[in-house]
Chain A
């Protein structure tokens, strides 16, 4: 009779233990990222992996998001003769929300999984232990460069996503919905606010931290061979995605709640 209660208690304790380990891991990772030695060669490699190689997937996501946004806004707004608000809707939605969130989710799927799989494999094949025997702190060599690269590249990716997304909206508005090109661009520019852009970029930096942290945390603590690595990969993507949505709300509250 007490079995379900005991099981629930076990789950809660496991969850609290994992949260505690994650917080300690995050503090150790931040401390490693801000104190020398720095492995700049590894940071450079991660900048290319996380930033440059994510461009196609983020760009494609952004252009279709901008296109859909313009099309959906048109079908809704045309009922109230409010079609002229489409450029504003596209730019505000992309800069504040869709750019950072969708780029974050796409990078979580691509990079969070890759980091967890790589570190997980290194863990189960004793490569992380080997680093220790070679007097190299694994937190500094493996985790810190990924964290730095994630925080640095996500805002750049989101900036590119914003531009491509707005361009996607422009394409649909001008070539499908018959908007005047120069008027559309003028309305877009008028709707652009620096604080919208900055809030989106700050969100992106936080999402970059979350994605790389969850990838590293799950990979670093993976156990039990191929199955453990697979589990770590899944956990990294799922936990990063949920945390991105959660922190998106918290940051929106921080920036825009009156």
Chain B
């Protein structure tokens, strides 16, 4: 890779009590690249994202964004770094007490970037970008369907024109058609904003659609990292088992009867 990566992760480890969730993760996200981390439930995918965002503190390792180490940054610097990151949460994580437009324009309002009328205009423009009409702006999140909530979450993630967008299980809980709509929107909006994207999912259709590169997380380690076009010939039985969704194979799920 010629250019320095947008995000560089080296030796990242995180444990909860005796349970090691991340065990020396190395991962790069290039500028304008879309990387999808796949892995089973409980494999530590969300923990990885939360460590990058500063929501969780890892025990060891290094995370750099634009070459700047972020784990040692103070709160103010951390907030400044997070301003270039947008995030779409698995469940949307929309603020129930605020109408849709205030959710979308939250970062603008919180940072007092312009007046409320201007913030509302931007919110409505971002809603249009994800295919939602202006009349949705005054509804509350509880009045929206799951797919609409994801779209609003996506509009919020891109509202401040971030340089990096994180997607946490973007298609979970959606029907296949709506999942494809969201995947298409992710590809479209990420390109429009010109952002790098780091997604985590166990939905292979979603991964194939939005990724340039895929990395597989298993037992706290990245066991395969390569181009999406190469994943079907990874040569790793665990990757093959996962992407084909087979119960038989080296990965044994803990099932209690």
Interface residues of A (CB under 8 A from B): 118, 121-122, 125-127, 129-130, 132-137, 141
Contacts and interface: CB of A to CB of B under 8 A. Distances in A.
Contact of B80 (A122, A126, A135, A137): A135
Contacts of B87: 130, 133
Interface of B: 50, 53-55, 75, 79-80, 82-83, 85-87, 89-91, 93-97, 106-107, 110-111, 156, 166
Closest 6 CB pairs of A and B: A130-B93, A126-B93, A133-B87, A135-B79, A135-B82, A134-B107
Given A129-B50, A130-B93, 10 more contacts: A121-B96, A126-B93, A129-B55, A129-B93, A130-B89, A132-B54, A133-B85, A134-B82, A134-B156, A135-B80
A132 B55 CA distance: 7
13 contacts: A118-B97, A122-B95, A125-B93, A126-B90, A126-B93, A127-B95, A129-B93, A132-B55, A134-B106, A134-B107, A135-B111, A136-B106, A137-B75
Contacts of B111: 135
Nearest to A42: B97
A122 B89 CA distance: 13
A142 to B, nearest CB: 10
A67 to B, nearest CB: 38
Contacts of B90: 126
A118 B97 CA distance: 10
A137 B83 CA distance: 12
Nearest to A126: B93
A233 B96 CA distance: 18
Contacts of B106: 134, 136
A136 B87 CA distance: 13
A132 B53 contact: yes
A132 B95 contact: no
Contacts of B166: 133
A131 to B, nearest CB: 8
B91 A126 contact: yes
Contacts of B93: 125-127, 129-130
A134 B87 CA distance: 8
Contacts of A135: 79-80, 82-83, 107, 110-111
A130 B83 contact: no
B123 to A, nearest CB: 13
Name the residue in A118, A121, A122, A133 with the highest tally of chain B Cβ atoms < 10 Å from its Cβ: A133
A133 B156 CA distance: 11
B79 A126 contact: no
A117 to B, nearest CB: 12
Nearest to B89: A126
Name the residue in B85, B110, B111 with the highest tally of chain A Cβ atoms < 10 Å from its Cβ: B110
B192 to A, nearest CB: 20
Name the residue in A118, A127, A134, A141 with the highest tally of chain B Cβ atoms < 10 Å from its Cβ: A134
B44 to A, nearest CB: 16
A245 to B, nearest CB: 32
Name the residue in B85, B94, B95 with the highest tally of chain A Cβ atoms < 10 Å from its Cβ: B95
B165 to A, nearest CB: 10
Contacts of B95: 122, 127, 130
Nearest to A124: B91
Contacts of B156: 134
